[in-house]
Structure 1
């Protein structure tokens, strides 16, 4: 097949060179048509190249703007990662502070409970002492009334009673606390 094609091409080339059978005007017209078709194809291809060049330029602009956006996004991501790391550190420090504060709160609550317990005990002791004091005050008042009743009918007894009373505290050792004073008064009342 190649040989036949080569022979045809060679025969047509020889025929053209020798001008066998084709007049020059036809030949020029064919050449002109071929040149016009070629020019049309070149114009068409140039227009397509220009449109492709515009597309390439637009794509390049898009790529540049996307790179700028990508760089901005990368910077924002880096910034957010740093902030996230700082926030994590702050959170860890706050958690440790919270744990310390919770421990302090437990200690304070324990101390408060202990203080409330001691206060309740002190109130109970105060109530007991107050009741004892009231009882002693009542008895002392009764003692005083009894003493004044004993000393009122007899005038000479008055002079001897205070002397006896003045002697008795000297004989006994002086009481040191209110409870001891009260019990010594009661003892004195019982001996009369």
Structure 2
């Protein structure tokens, strides 16, 4: 059993630090927006100015997810997470840990595969319209097809894991009633007198 990092109050933390909470919800918002925009833009027939604009926004949001992931991972490594609810089975704790690792891996794989797909298609990526991203791969028709498939697979794998994550949250909040969601939404925490 790993020793828990003590906090400054002398009691175990019951919520994530504010920085973790902000980074989590910012990441969730960016991922949801990027996925929704991806669905909308690919539904637009032809190659219209609106579609091209949406493609640019989609790439910018995807790269922002990637850029904000590094501080998020560093913060998580340097700060202990709140303890899991008492009585939570060990296999559930392991499943939660593995799901989080898979989510982080896909948060890298999705934008990187998208970036490489654009480059293999011969389309330069210019972040926010001002910062050209150096080409990692040269235009290549076969690689483009492969990367497009990988980008699709990674996206829908991420969607499945996010849904699994949400189902687990719902189970803990409404079936187990163990206060797990309050770790990421502290305003849900009940005062000590009502427990």
By percentage of residues, which structure has more helix? 1
Larger RCO (alpha carbons 8 Å, 6+ apart): 2
Per the shorter chain, which TM-score range?
A: under 0.3
TM-score (norm 2): 0.20
TM-score (norm 1): 0.20
Q: Which structure has the larger Rg?
A: 1
